[in-house]
Amino acid sequence: MNIQWFPGHMAKTRRLIAENLKLVDVIIELLDARIPYSSRNPEIDSLVNNKPRLVAFNKSDLADDKISSQWIQWYAEQGIKCILINSITGKGLNDVKTRARELVSEKIERDRAKGKIFTPVRTMVVGIPNVGKSSFINKIVGKATALTGDRPGVTRGKQWIRINSEIELLDTPGILWPKFEDQEVGMNLAFTGAIKDDIMDTAEVAMELLYRLSKLYPKELCARFKLEPDLIKNIEPLELLETVGRKRGCLISKGQIDYSRISAIVLDEFRGGKIGRITLEKPNERVEKIQQ
């Protein structure tokens, strides 16, 4: 399945980021901790140029801690500071405020030396759809100031939001990029909900997700769907989806599988962390793939 999704408002968002960049001191880029490579928009690099950047792995409570640590080290080697956060519980958000100020500490001191009146550090929040930007902003500000939703494409306009007397945030809508050169990236975005379900064949997405989990997290998959470990070793993706469908009683007339229902269940349970703490890509695997 060839996955592409770039509605018109995303092109507008790209222009919005470029136009407002001169107003910003620090970029806060949110990534999905379950897909730290796939959720990073390659166009952000060219858009933000040399602006100081802080990367926050959101939804860290849903990701594999061990692999998250590997990704933080990998990004550090690229010269990018990373923080694990949870925009629902607030984990790591105080570190975001501290690190944002640290990134522009030299600029603040230069301004003070010149006698300039202190102004808040202005930050821009960027990230793909459904990465949790609005929830992040609501939590870090302490009240519901930004529109939130559990589907991609909710935030549409530009909003400056005061965190405290020292830091302001510029919220922007989620932005993808016009073409996914790597379809594995597109599939990862589909798994996590960054792409709208209604433009895809969700049965194919769920089938591929189950197959990936059978290789990466077989114990968690078997425990959640009451599967026998030997069963999933060499099973075909379609048969695996059908087996899970029967286990959950997703049947229609004459015992046929209700593919739509079981696909929705599989995707919802993965996205909600019910299958386990899962990360779908590792740094060394992504680097090897890029170099091929």
For the annotated binding site for GTP, the residues are 58-61, 86-87, 130-135, 174
Report which residue type is found at 26.
Answer: V
Q: Which residues are annotated as a binding site?
A: 58-61, 86-87, 130-135, 174
Tell me how crowded residue 250 is: count the other CB atoms within 10 A of its CB.
Answer: 21
d(CA 58, CA 56): 6
Of the candidates 192, 261, 262, 187, the residue with the CA atom closest to the CA atom of residue 224: 262
Measure the CA–CA gap between 174 and 188, rounded to whole angstroms: 16
> Helices in the chain by DSSP H: which ranges?
8-20, 42-48, 65-77, 93-103, 105-113, 133-141, 183-192, 202-216, 218-225, 237-247, 259-271, 283-291
Question: Residues near 57 by Cβ (< 8 Å), separated by ≥ 6?
Answer: 31, 32, 33, 36, 63, 68, 71, 72, 82, 83, 84, 85
87 vs 57: CA distance, rounded Å: 10
